[in-house]
Structure 1
Amino acid sequence: MKRDEFTIKTQSYLKTLCGVKPNRRTGSSGNREATDFLANTIRPYGYGIDASPFECLDYICRRSLLTHDEEAFEVFVSPYSLGCDVLAELITVSTVEELESINCEGKILLMRGEICSEQLMPKSFVFYNPEHHKKIIALLESQKPAVIITATARSPEQVGALYPFPLIVDGDFDIPSVYCRGIVGEVLAALQGDTFRLKIDASRLPSNATNIIARLNGDAPGKIVITAHIDAYEDTPGASDNASGVVVLLLFAEMISDYRGENCIEIAALNGEDHYSAGGQMDYLKRYGDEFPNILLAVNVDNVGYKKGRSSYSFYECSPQLEKKAEDVFRRFDGLVRGEQWFSGDHMIFVQSQVPSVAFTSECMHELMRTVTHTSSDTPEIIDCYKLVEVAESLNILVRSL
């Protein structure tokens, strides 16, 4: 098939993945529609499909209302927060030390400033959870505020272009919470000691989701894994993050479908990179972790295809011989360039087990994170479909050479 024909398919795939309703949030009906679409598209090429479900949480967030006397303040419900209706005194903290010493049981706790500089890792997140995050969560649970308000600033390196961002995104944390812009936090802080009312209309929904694991030559002892996460951040189209990576999987699946080599080709659409529980990643490790010693190479594709810049690749745990072989392939493509390593994607579940890995992303990833990622602006219009075809073509050549 010619590149132009693959480019037309790419446009159709992107439109489908970004058009599911309500979105591709793990556990949602749109997420299940996306995984069904992927499996049904790949299956006719001769792949064996594992679509085993795993349990997860979805949620419904209807509205929130924070009032003081006759005045209302704009706040947003934290994803996976429980609902509440609280009438209580407002107390403010800005440091861990203040949180340690304050009496806020049964009160409305406003967190702002230094203590809100980083989005807190979920309680059960095993891949990265720094001690100071654990300490804040433990203090909140021991101090027992009735509800929490967090005032946050911009943090593109951690949460993309989302502003304000929720400090707490955790279905295992049972104190209701909302978040607001920093300027709203300033106004609220000036009213510390006054009585406020905060209503949150939200609920958690037990749900399920699935990874899509597609294999050619599944009985072969050696395995090459090409992966991308299929879920998207709350209520975003998720074109670059990460429908574009899933499109590369679809293109590669077709290109490599006539492979008759000696290795197993595994295409893994993981489901949960943007979900607090990383449920798909945990389920993959549970089901397939014992096969990691057999993986010759793992390739993760995330945030590729941005209309600005080229597609960049980086190496992890690769031998000099493997790096050279991959470089020899990638240098054939004008749109590929070696980039800096990054450590927040799904390739890290392989890297942490010393599996040779390659990660593809956008050369302009930092601009993308600063301006688009995790917002409603992450639409197919920012994607250059030809770049996705190019990444898939390079992987097709590389895999056949191993």
Structure 2
Amino acid sequence: MNKDNYTAKARFYLDFLCNVKPNRRTGSLGNRDATDFFANTVRAYGYEVDATPFECLDHICNGAILSQEEAYEVYASPYTMGCDALAELIAVSTIEELENIDCEGKILLIKGAICKEQLMPKNFVFYNPEHHQKIIALLESRKPAGIITATEKKPEQAGALYPFPLIVDGDFDIPSVYCKDIVGDILAITHGLFRLKIDAIRISSRATNIIARLNSNAPRKVVITAHIDAYEGSPGASDNASGIIVLLLCAQMLSDYRGENCIEIVALNGEDHYSAGGQMDYLKRYGTEMPKIMLAINIDDVGYKIGRTAYSFYECPLSLEKKAEDVFLRFNSLASGEQWFNGDHMIFAQNQVPSMAFTSERMADLMKTVTHTSLDTPDLIDCYKLVEVAESLNALVRSI
């Protein structure tokens, strides 16, 4: 198949993945449609497919209202519990103030310095700094009726969202909303009773990783991953339909592979979910196979129409880096890039597995403008660039 045909196929995949309903959030119907589509596509190329489901939490929200004499613009935190509270509002801006406040039964406004970093979910195992754990523990011990978090723009943490939710955690049971920092400043000097109403419900659900293998009994394997889920409310074209498309194209290109290694192509499900459920399930079921992996490659946010695709290395011997560089020199749309440490490649790199990551060299621009928003649409993606990434991986896998 020539590049034009692969490019047309990539456009078809992109249109499908960005239009499942309601979206590709882990646990949703659209997410299941996406994983079914992926499984059926790679199965047709002769791969053994493991689609074992895991338990997860889905969330349905119909909005939030904060009002006094007037309504204030607030948004329900992802995975929050619902509530209908009428209470006094009290504000804190530091951990020290939170330690010393009595806010039981009140509406707690969190603003300022304490809101500088999006809090890690309380049971998130990959990264969970002590001061985040302390804030969560203090909030739970203070027992407010509801929480308002006032946040500024932080693209390096939360993408283009403004405001961004400080709390994204289905294991945290105090109802919460978030608002812009300027709204928080107004609320902090407004006295009287406030009504906070959140119309939301948590739903037990299931999702699945899709793990496709060729030559599954081989003693060593090459693993290629991308996350198939998307952030709530986002079509997720660059984040990360583009990466999934590369996997699908690569699966087709490698379908005639008869080398000595196992090829494992993995659509992980949960990179944008608070629980990282798919990543945890993969480690639970296949973590003992880490020593078999000769190279793990993760693809996220590739194909942006501006700029090239950047690759980076983690825990790789120099000989492997040199071999990969020699392959990638054949592709004009690829360039060496800086390391980044918040993608699924870190699952492998933290276990000393030689790893690579592919992303847009303009990832910082994407994070500031479209990531995790409704603006992450298919028109941002150059499908020809996706074909080139897949071709480069096809060539690399056959060379090692």
Distance 2:359 2:197 in 1: 41
Q: Does residue 238 in structure 1 map to residue 236 in structure 2?
A: yes
Question: What is the total number of aligned residue pairs between the two structures?
Answer: 400
Does 1:54 pair with 2:66? no
- One-letter code of the match for 2:147? I
Unpaired runs of 5+ residues, structure 2, are none
Please state how far the C-alpha of 1:388 moved relative to its aligned partner.
0.2
Residue in structure 2 matched with residue 328 of structure 1 by the alignment: 326
Q: How does 1:6-85 map to 2 (within 5 A)?
A: 6-68=6-68, 70-85=69-84
Aligned with 1:296: secondary structure?
strand
Aligned to 1:115: 114
Q: What amino acid does structure 1 have at the position aligned with 2:280?
A: M
**Percent identity for Structure 1 against Structure 2:** 74
Partner Cα distance (1:261, 1:44) in 2: 20
State the SS of the aligned residue for 1:49: strand
Corresponding residue to 1:318 among 316, 319, 322? 316
Deviations 1:101-137 (A, max 9, x none): 1110110000011111111000010000111100100
Counterpart CA distance in 2 for 1:397 and 1:199 is: 55
CA distance in 2, matches of 1:301, 1:66: 40
Deviations 1:266-308 (A, max 9, x none): 0000000000000000000011000000000000000000011
- 1:19 counterpart letter in structure 2: N
- Structure 1 counterpart of 2:97: 98
Which segments of 5 or more consecutive residues in structure 1 lack a partner in the other structure? none
1:297-325 per-residue CA deviation (whole Å, 9 max, x = no partner) reads 00000000001100000000000110000
**Which aligned runs of 4 or more in structure 1 are off by greater than 6 angstroms?**
none
Q: Secondary structure of the residue that 1:165 maps to in structure 2?
A: coil
Match of 1:131 in 2: 130
CA drift of 1:144 comes to 0.8
Superposition pairs for residues 254-333 of structure 1, below 5 Å? Answer: 254-333=252-331
Aligned counterparts of 1:44 and 1:59: Cα–Cα separation in 2: 33
Q: Secondary structure at the match of 1:292?
A: helix
C-alpha deviation, 1:182, in angstroms: 1.2
Distance 1:314 1:165 in 2: 29
Partner SS, residue 232 of structure 1: coil
Give 1:67 deviation, angstroms: 1.0
Structure 1 residue 187: deviation in Å? 1.0
Give RMSD over aligned pairs.
0.6
Task: Within 5 Å, give how 1:300-379 maps onto structure 2.
Answer: 300-379=298-377
Whole-angstrom distance in 2 between the partners of 1:271 and 1:63:
26
Query: SS state of the match for residue 19, structure 1?
Result: coil
Greater displacement, 315-324 / 59-68: 59-68
**CA displacement at 1:390 relative to structure 2:** 0.2
Distance 1:324 1:165 in 2: 41
Letter paired with 1:154: K
Corresponding position of 2:4: 4
SS at match of 1:90: strand
Could you tell me the TM-score, scaled by structure 1's length?
Answer: 0.99
1:264 Cα offset (Å): 0.3
Q: TM-score, normalised by structure 2?
A: 0.99
